[in-house]
Amino acid sequence: MDRQAAVTTPVLPNEVRADVETLWRYHDMHHKLRPCDVGIGLGSHDLGVAVVATQLFHAGLFPWIVFTGANAPTTIERFPQGEAVHYREYAVEHGVPAASVLVEPQATNTAENLEYSRTLLAEREIPVRSVLIMSRPYQQRRAYATCRLMWPEVEVVCASNPLELDDYVSSIGDPRRVVDMLVGDTQRIEVYAERGFAIPQEMPDEVREAFDRLVAAGYTSRLI
């Protein structure tokens, strides 16, 4: 049984592991978690966003959760009612009071996630001076850069479900998908800053070189 499990467990190819780990570390903002006025869970294919939002709510880090997200081609099958709706269902099923969870079901990208969440909170007259943004692990840096541009008056803390890289790959079940998404988000750090969608972020040479090697190896499905 153990031998069969070892064979079927999805793993990263050894030849790209070092480069994937480099990108993985780069996107983790390593923020120290602290209480914020609201938690915002960014929709995606990853239920781990709802998991960490639920855990941090119970830990007392925020009194409100906004789940934001419609659907994308990568999520429609898993979350047919919409990403935010399914995230809310998870949170309520795991003890978060329904009245403490707001749903924004229209956003289809990170900028919309933040813009629409901000509008929803303003409509509810919930004052916001600080936000704890929860996302996929490799979306942290892009979420931070986007929020700093679009919502500069709030303090931003980023968090994700605290899994190691191999555990995250196992939870998603598709190593290529994870690497493709990592590569795509790395490209977006610079492209979105150039297009005025986010503030610029430093990209160390080792990150750029790892990105180039992974693109050359064919991990390109999420490139713009």
Check residue 8 and give its pLDDT. 66
Q: What is the DSSP letter of 33?
A: P
| Cα 137 to Cα 159: distance, rounded to the nearest angstrom | 8
CB 24 within 8 A of CB 165: yes
Enumerate the β-bridge partners of residue 159. 134
Residue 7 confidence (pLDDT) above 60: no
Residue 106 confidence (pLDDT) above 60: yes
Residue 56 tokens, joined: 């941090």
Residue percentage of the chain with pLDDT more than 90: 87
The 10s digit of each residue's pLDDT in 162-204 is 999 999 999 889 999 999 999 999 999 999 999 999 999 999 9
Residue with tokens 């800053």: 193
**Amino acid, single-letter form, for residue 4:** Q
The 10s digit of each residue's pLDDT in 109-141 is 999 999 999 999 999 999 999 999 999 999 999
Residue 3 confidence (pLDDT) above 70: no
CA distances from 69 to 16, 44, 80, 170 (A): 31, 7, 12, 24
Residue 103 tokens, joined: 């749903």
CB 182 within 8 A of CB 217: no
Check residue 81 and give its pLDDT. 77
| Cα 214 to Cα 224: distance, rounded to the nearest angstrom | 15
The 10s digit of each residue's pLDDT in 16-28 is 999 999 999 999 9
pTM comes to: 0.91
Residue 121 tokens, joined: 């909170």
Residue 26 tokens, joined: 């780069």
Predicted confidence band of residue 73 (pLDDT cuts 50, 70, 90): low
Q: What is the mean pLDDT of residues 98-115?
A: 96
Q: What strands, in cross-sheet order, belong to the sheet with 130-134?
A: 101-104, 65-68, 38-42, 130-134, 155-159
Residue 148 confidence (pLDDT) above 80: yes
* Closest residue by Cα to residue 171 from 74, 70, 45: 45
CB 62 within 8 A of CB 132: yes
The 10s digit of each residue's pLDDT in 38-67 is 999 999 888 999 999 999 999 999 999 999
